[in-house]
Each structure stands twice: as structure tokens, then as C-alpha cells.
């Protein structure tokens, strides 16, 4: 059983050179080693990127993430009450179309507080918008006829996060290209749908009274299902990671230097962790960290209610369509053998748990792994989305 300490502080790696240098470069080799070590020891790490050292074409629109107040200002527009009323008509779940920069339709989905996203039966005190990198990701759903230009900003953010994720897989981790879908969506052109499951979610967490915070978690404990998650959180913090060894929740502390660097936090997801682990032994090579989010504390001045909320942008990367855990498995033994170890901590992976609220007896996490490992992961995720009623 893997009982490595993964208490804070979490490592921080400046990955700017991953956008500019080729793989023979010594500085990039050091960055690769630091990032891989962070993934092995923690399954998560901070990254910083210095846009002033990049030509804009290397990471388009990186400046949109440079300044916390600008991100918050932009995102407050889409959570503004009047904006929500006019685009969702007061509904708690609504797909809203908007004109993208190609002047064709894209879609974003709003979820209000009553919309449950996880396994617990309580309402989580947050609102969110989500957008798929695939233009047709939401197009099959019913939507209103209004169009909102403000939502097109979500596509720009999606693109930045995708470029960061791609650069990590290709230039930093140097893993095979099946862990991530590189291509832009062309579904409009070819009339297919969901060419990639990659998606951005923007969360706005309510500020709560101090006594309420532990009873009403912003996000209940979970691991992320996919290849990799990229998180931008504002200076309220609130993201916490669990250390299994010390049975302790640790804050993901922010570096608040006003140095104009883009500051993100990276999580390894269940897919990557399962593919890189040696399932025949008991060892997790790259853990998929258990994490949760605490809501911010409400200040005494009621008028400051809005300023007290916490904002985060969370981007989920998934493997290429059609790829199973077994296809991506880096352990030849695990890829070939049917036998899996009884010591491997399958229970730690949310993707292997039935997250629906129905009472029926679920198979064990190990049994689920056995069944799931050879199924294309996009099919697995479609089933998971049904479990959490998306
Ligand atoms: O809001 C955050 O910082 C993280 C949320 C999260 O963990 C998730 O949506 O999977
Ligand atoms: Fe998460």
C-alpha cells in the first residue's frame, strides 16, 4: 500500500521554457525532471509561466490569466444576476448559445446552486459555467434562443488551458500522445460530435459563515477522472489536498507575488495515474490526489457579499477518444496481464466508484477496474457523467 507523505508545501515549477525550448535544452531537461518528480511524489504541483518571456503566438492570450482582478472582473459578468436572469430565465440548469469568434454557434452550460454535481445529496454552495473544447459538446441539449457574446471569453480561456496541458504532456512529461487530444475541434466542419471530452468549468463559490464552512463543502472530497486537471484559483484559496499517510488535509497555498506570472495548479487525474501505475504490485507511481474545496468566509459587512466569493477556473483534459487505460498503460506487465494485485489501492480512484445516489450494490473498485481497463475511456466518462446527473 502506498503511504507516501504528500503534505504541503507543494513543489512549484516554472514551465515557461516548455513553450520555447527544444528537448535538447538543459534548462528544459531540469524542468522535466522537477515536474516528473512532483508527479511521482505528490501527483500535483504549482506551475508558473512568464508571459513576458514568450512570444504571444507560443501561448495565445496568456495575459488573460496574469492579473487576478482582471480574471475576476471578466467572470463576474457571467455570474451577474441580470445576465443570468436574461440568459437562463431563472432555470437552474441551462445551455446557452453564443456566437464564437468564427461567427458560428458555441454553447455553455450554467448550473445554479440547486444543481447537484457530485455524490452527496446536499446542494453545494456554488454556481458554475462549463464549456467543452468540442463545439458540439453541448449542442444536442435544449437551449434558449438568446445569444451572449460575453460567454465567448470562455473559449479563449479554454484554449490557454489546453495549450498548457498539451505542453505539459508533450514537452515536459514526454508521455505518448494518446494521453491528450492535441487537435482543435473540427466537428462543425465534419458534422460529428464530441471529438474530445476536454472541458473548462468556471466556479463561483459562495461565502459562508465560519461555522457553516465544514458542513457545506464547496466541493466534496474526490479525485479527478481524466488525464490531467489545470486549476486557476483566486487568492481566497480553499483548494485542499489529502495526505493519506498523515490523514490530514493540506491547503494549496498560493504564491501571491505580484510578479505578473501566470500561476496555475496541476493535478494528475485517475486515467494517467492508473495508466502509469504498476497494477500488478501495490505501488501508485503518479498519485491522483484526493482533493476538496472549502468555501470562503463571509465578512461582516453585508455589502461586501460579492467580493467575498471564491472564483476558480478548472480545466479537465482527457485522453484521445478510443483509448483505454490498458492502451495507455506504461507498465508492460499491466498492459498484458489480466491479473491485478489485491494490494493496489483501487479504492482511492473516484473513477472506479459508483457515484450515483442509487442504493443498489456496486461492484468493488477492483472489479470496476478489471471491467473498465479495456473500454475506451470516453465511453467510461459518458457513463460517469450519467452517475453525477450532468
Ligand atoms: O474549484 C477548484 O479549485 C477545484 C474544483 C474541483 O476540484 C473539481 O471541479 O474537480
Ligand atoms: Fe477536482
Least confident of 167-171, 183-187, 300-304, 322-326: 300-304
Give the pLDDT score at 342. Answer: 78
The predicted pLDDT at position 119 comes to 46
Q: For residue 293, how far is its CA from the centre of ligand 2 (angstroms)? A: 9
Q: What is the mean pLDDT of residues 39-46?
A: 97
Q: Which pLDDT belongs to residue 362?
A: 86
Q: What is the mean pLDDT of residues 78-101?
A: 90
Q: Which of 40-44, 186-190, 224-228, 384-388 is predicted least confidently? A: 186-190
Contact 146, 96 (CB under 8 A): yes
Mean pLDDT of 222-242: 97
Show the domain range for 293: 12-387
**Between β-strands 12-14 and 44-49, what pairing exists: parallel, antiparallel or unpaired?**
parallel
d(CA 124, CA 113): 6
Whether 18 has a pLDDT exceeding 90, the answer reads: yes
Integer Cα distance of 132 and 109 in angstroms:
9
Pairing of strands 291-293, 239-243: antiparallel
Lowest-pLDDT choice from 96-110, 136-150, 278-292: 136-150
Q: Is residue 145 part of a domain?
A: yes
Q: Is residue 4 part of a domain?
A: no
- Asked if residue 54 is part of any domain, the answer here is yes
User: Of all protein residues, whose CA lies closest to atom 2 belonging to ligand 1?
Assistant: 312
Distance 296 CA to ligand 1 centre (A): 14
Mean pLDDT of 113-124: 63
Ligand 1: list residues with CB < 6 Å: 201, 203, 219, 224, 231, 233, 239, 291, 293, 312, 314
For the chain, what is the domain count?
A: 1
Question: Which ligand is located closest to the Cα atom of residue 118?
Answer: 1
Distance 26 CA to ligand 2 centre (A): 33
Q: Distance from CA of residue 360 to its chain's centroid?
A: 29
CA of 229 to the centre of ligand 2 (A): 7
Looking at all shown ligands, the one closest to residue 219's CA atom is 1
The CATH number of the domain where 77 resides is what?
A: 2.60.120.330
Please write the tens of the pLDDT for every residue from 146-170: 556 689 899 999 999 999 999 999 9
Q: Among residues of the chain, what percentage have pLDDT more than 70? A: 89
Enter the DSSP assignment of 268: E
Q: Is the pLDDT confidence value at 317 over 80? A: yes
How far is it between the farthest Cα atoms of the chain? 61
Q: Whose CA is nearest to atom 1 of ligand 1?
A: 312
C-alpha to C-alpha distance for 62 and 60, rounded to whole angstroms: 6
How far from 22 is each of 15, 51, 170, 177, CA to CA, in Å?
13, 18, 11, 17
> Which numbered atom of ligand 1 lies nearest the CA of 224?
10
Q: What integer is the mean pLDDT of 171-196?
A: 87
Amino acid at each position: 500500500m502506498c503511504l507516501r507523505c504528500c503534505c504541503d508545501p507543494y513543489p512549484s515549477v516554472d514551465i515557461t521554457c516548455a513553450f520555447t525550448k527544444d528537448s535538447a535544452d538543459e534548462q528544459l531537461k531540469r524542468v522535466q525532471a522537477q515536474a516528473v518528480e512532483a508527479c511521482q511524489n505528490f501527483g500535483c504541483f504549482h506551475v508558473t509561466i512568464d508571459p513576458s518571456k514568450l512570444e504571444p503566438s507560443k501561448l495565445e492570450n496568456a495575459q488573460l490569466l496574469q492579473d487576478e482582478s482582471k480574471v475576476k472582473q471578466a467572470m463576474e459578468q457571467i455570474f451577474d444576476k441580470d445576465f443570468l436572469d436574461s440568459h437562463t430565465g431563472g432555470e437552474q440548469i441551462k445551455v446557452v448559445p453564443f456566437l464564437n469568434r468564427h461567427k458560428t454557434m458555441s454553447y455553455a452550460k450554467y448550473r445554479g446552486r440547486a444543481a447537484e454535481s457530485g455524490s452527496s445529496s446536499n446542494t453545494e454552495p456554488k454556481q458554475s459555467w462549463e464549456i467543452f473544447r468540442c463545439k458540439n459538446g453541448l449542442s444536442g441539449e435544449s437551449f434558449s434562443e438568446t445569444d451572449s457574446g460575453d460567454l465567448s471569453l470562455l473559449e479563449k480561456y479554454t484554449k490557454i488551458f489546453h495549450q498548457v496541458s498539451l505542453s505539459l504532456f508533450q514537452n515536459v512529461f514526454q508521455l505518448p500522445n494518446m494521453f491528450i487530444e492535441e487537435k482543435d475541434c473540427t466537428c462543425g466542419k465534419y458534422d460529428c460530435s464530441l471529438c474530445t471530452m476536454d472541458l473548462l468549468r468556471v466556479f463561483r463559490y459562495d461565502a459562508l459563515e465560519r461555522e457553516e464552512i465544514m458542513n457545506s463543502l464547496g466541493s466534496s472530497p474526490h479525485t479527478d477522472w481524466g488525464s490531467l486537471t489545470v486549476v486557476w484559483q483566486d487568492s481566497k484559496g480553499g483548494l485542499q489536498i489529502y495526505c493519506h499517510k498523515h490523514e490530514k488535509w493540506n491547503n494549496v497555498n498560493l504564491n501571491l507575488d505580484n510578479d505578473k506570472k501566470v500561476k496555475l495548479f496541476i493535478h494528475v487525474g485517475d486515467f494517467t495515474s492508473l495508466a502509469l501505475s504498476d497494477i500488478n504490485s501495490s505501488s501508485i507511481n503518479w498519485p491522483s490526489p484526493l482533493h476538496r474545496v472549502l468555501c470562503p468566509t463571509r465578512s461582516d459587512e453585508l455589502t461586501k457579499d460579492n467580493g467575498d466569493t471564491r472564483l476558480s477556473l478548472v480545466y479537465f483534459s482527457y485522453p484521445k477518444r478510443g483509448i483505454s487505460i490498458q492502451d495507455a498503460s506504461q507498465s508492460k506487465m499491466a498492459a498484458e496481464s489480466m491479473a491485478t494485485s489485491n494490494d493496489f489501492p483501487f479504492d482511492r480512484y473516484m473513477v472506479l466508484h459508483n457515484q450515483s445516489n442509487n442504493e443498489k450494490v456496486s461492484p468493488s473498485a477492483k472489479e470496476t477496474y478489471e471491467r473498465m481497463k479495456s473500454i475506451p475511456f470516453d465511453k467510461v466518462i459518458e457513463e460517469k457523467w450519467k452517475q453525477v446527473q450532468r
